[in-house]
């Protein structure tokens, strides 16, 4: 039986996350939106201290709910908070227990540290199997060459901390997807360089960079999974296993931004004397009431999909279909609801006096990264119809 009930200690963590979002994130949300790439040092120190004490850590349903709460405060500031991030998720999904200890221990001690993951390239976006970055074995080392773009938190992971970046590269181009492997590269490794810091539409408090690798040598045992190229899709499955963890979490980010917009919209409507009457027949409701209830219903549907995917993950049940469903639904819902909130508020929604326009900008990325809405819809269709990649493109 599906059960989303939280243990008392997990409920306390979710409540703590909301308190942090309300008292720490939200008050500085606009400032760091308008001061892109400025370091929110007080937030970083606070979040690292909480993480070191065991707060705000967790996987499964509780983890998703904590992410949602923090992104209700500010999605960009959540991403800027120190922690293993997408890189840590990749290590957890494809690494060994020895690698968990070697690469993830740094995220619980010492100074603030970040993790990043590098998959997208100038010629390989949604089609991750088309990556051109290479990894060639040289004795007890791997030599990486290539360029990665749109790397979330790459600057903080590599230039501002002793973090890690998980890089996807091919060890055998002729093998296609089977030759695709992931490698952990630690900050300070010669041959790796952050080349460009992007300016973005939303989530401005986080950093997004281009990273190049030129004869970058890393230890042989920094590969996640097996080095051998065996089956047709074995290497690609490692990437998909990572997405099974990260896609529901990105969906939870979308839910947080969306709920922030809904909560603020309801408050502003209430100030103007417009009540959402849930006990009135639809035929007697105003257009605004009907719109709001439809927005709320879509948010709840996405919310349940996210909880289902994370519940399966924490129970060890395969969740690839549900992870993509949650990501596709939440990304679309976030985009449409935040846009509609701006429209309903009119000039106030479009102005910078309130946060509606920021919510709309922050929401859009959730329909793009960790697999676009179109790609995730395609993944869902293939799994529901039992079609192969070649049968349905």
Catalytic residues: 370
Q: How far apart are CA 214 and CA 234, in angstroms?
A: 26
Distance of CA 283 to the CA centre of its chain: 40
Residue 6, class by beta-carbon neighbours within 10 Å (0-12 exposed, 13-18 middle, 19+ buried)? middle
Bridge partners of residue 219, in order along the sequence: 141
Give the number of other Cβ atoms within 10 Å of residue 143's Cβ: 17
Q: How far apart are CA 54 and CA 48, in angstroms?
A: 10
Cite the DSSP H helix spans in the chain: 8-20, 29-34, 41-52, 60-73, 75-80, 85-94, 97-104, 154-158, 234-271, 287-314, 320-345, 347-350, 356-364, 373-385
CA atoms within 13 A on the CB side of 345: 29
Helices 60-73 and 8-20, packing angle to 10 deg: 20
The SS3 assignment for 166 reads strand
Residue 128 DSSP one-character state: G
For residue 112, give the nearest of 188, 163, 74 by alpha carbon. Answer: 163
Distance of CA 141 to the CA centre of its chain: 31
Distance of CA 241 to the CA centre of its chain: 14
Q: How far apart are CA 323 and CA 96, in angstroms?
A: 23
Bridge partners of residue 167, in order along the sequence: 118, 183
Which residues touch 299 (CB under 8 Å, ≥6 apart)?
Answer: 255, 258, 259, 262, 333, 337
């Amino acid at each position: 039986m599906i059960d989303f009930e939280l243990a008392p200690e997990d409920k306390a963590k979710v409540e703590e996350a909301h308190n942090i979002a309300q008292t720490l994130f939200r008050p500085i949300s606009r400032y760091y939106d308008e001061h892109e790439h400025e370091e929110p040092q007080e937030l970083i120190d606070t979040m690292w201290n909480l993480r070191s004490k065991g707060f705000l850590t967790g996987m499964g349903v509780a983890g998703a709910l904590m992410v949602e709460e923090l992104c209700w405060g500010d999605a960009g500031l959540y991403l800027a908070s120190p922690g293993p991030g997408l890189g840590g998720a990749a290590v957890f999904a494809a690494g060994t227990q020895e690698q968990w200890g070697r690469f993830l221990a740094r995220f619980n001690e010492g100074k603030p540290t970040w993790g990043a993951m590098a998959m997208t390239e100038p010629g390989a976006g949604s089609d991750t199997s088309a990556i051109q970055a290479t990894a060639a074995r040289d004795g007890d080392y791997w030599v990486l060459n290539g360029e990665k773009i749109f790397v979330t938190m790459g600057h903080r992971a590599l230039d501002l901390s002793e973090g890690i970046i998980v890089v996807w590269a091919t060890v055998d181009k002729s093998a296609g997807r089977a030759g695709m492997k992931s490698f952990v590269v630690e900050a300070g490794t010669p041959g790796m360089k952050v080349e460009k810091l992007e300016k973005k539409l939303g989530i401005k408090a986080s950093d997004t960079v281009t990273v190049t690798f030129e004869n970058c040598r890393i230890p042989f045992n920094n590969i996640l999974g097996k080095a051998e190229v065996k089956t047709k899709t074995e290497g690609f499955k490692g990437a998909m296993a990572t997405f099974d963890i990260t896609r529901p979490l990105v969906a939870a980010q979308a839910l947080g931004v969306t709920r922030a917009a809904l909560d603020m919209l309801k408050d502003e409507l209430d100030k103007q004397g417009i009540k959402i009457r849930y006990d009135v027949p639809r035929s007697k409701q105003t257009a605004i009431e009907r719109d709001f209830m439809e927005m709320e219903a879509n948010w709840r549907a996405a919310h349940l999909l996210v909880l289902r995917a994370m519940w399966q993950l924490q129970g060890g049940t395969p969740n690839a279909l549900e992870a993509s469903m949650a990501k596709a639904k939440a990304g679309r819902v976030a985009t449409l609801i935040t846009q509609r909130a701006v429209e309903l508020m009119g000039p106030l929604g479009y102005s910078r006096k309130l946060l509606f326009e920021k919510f709309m900008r922050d929401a859009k990325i959730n329909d793009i990264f960790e697999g676009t809405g179109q790609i995730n819809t395609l993944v869902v269709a293939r799994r529901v119809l039992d079609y192969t990649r070649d049968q349905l493109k």
